[in-house]
Structure 1
Amino acid sequence: MTDTTKLSPFAARVFAIVKRIPPGRVTTYGRIARAAGAGRSARMVGWLLHHSPPDVAAVAHRVVNRNGELTGGWAWGHPAIMRGLLEAEGVRFVAEYQVDLAAHLWEPPLLTEAQDDQDASLS
């Protein structure tokens, strides 16, 4: 778990974006990185999610790789658990551990530091 009082601005933006992913939708590590202002940092997004606070971890199952595959599934013990969480929200799959991105992709808006500050004041 991460001490949220010591987050970098990038980490704070990543966590704010992930918390906005609607139920029944997914987005990718790369899309989150771009929206948070660091387009080539998809792996850093994955690392941050692995070390995220409980409120972010509770919805991190909605983040998949660029092909819709459940690459973060081992954080829950097995990708089947991540799949179950997504199916419970109505997400359809095109393969055993690959979501139907055409039907469920959510494109995060660019998150500015001003929006990030506003989100922090609401917490």
Structure 2
Amino acid sequence: MGQVLITGYQFRSNEYRKGPIEFMMGLCSFFMSKDFDIPHMLYNSNAKCPLRKGVNYYVYKLSPNATNFPPLIPEGKWKLQLDFMYLNRYIAWSVEWYNGVEYMNIFG
């Protein structure tokens, strides 16, 4: 019943504009996904499926490892918006994550 809508916004023309990243996946699939280093980010957390009513969930020291990010994300400033949805209609909570992508020039 839970879904995560992931939308990427790239910083262009002095504002964040919707970029090429937008997809939806199931909440439990999101928690178990190896992309974006999610297992490492949720290591200090009790967020596990199935989510239960009446339980307080926490995430502590959330920090991603860039080596597990999908390749070829365009360079620049990014905002990733994660909307955690119930019944594909209602946003239960939302997270806005600001970061940057910079590639090393190995030929310079």
How high is the TM-score relative to the length of structure 2? 0.28
- Higher strand share goes to which structure? 2
Which structure has the larger Rg?
2
How high is the TM-score relative to the length of structure 1? 0.26
- Higher helix share goes to which structure? 1
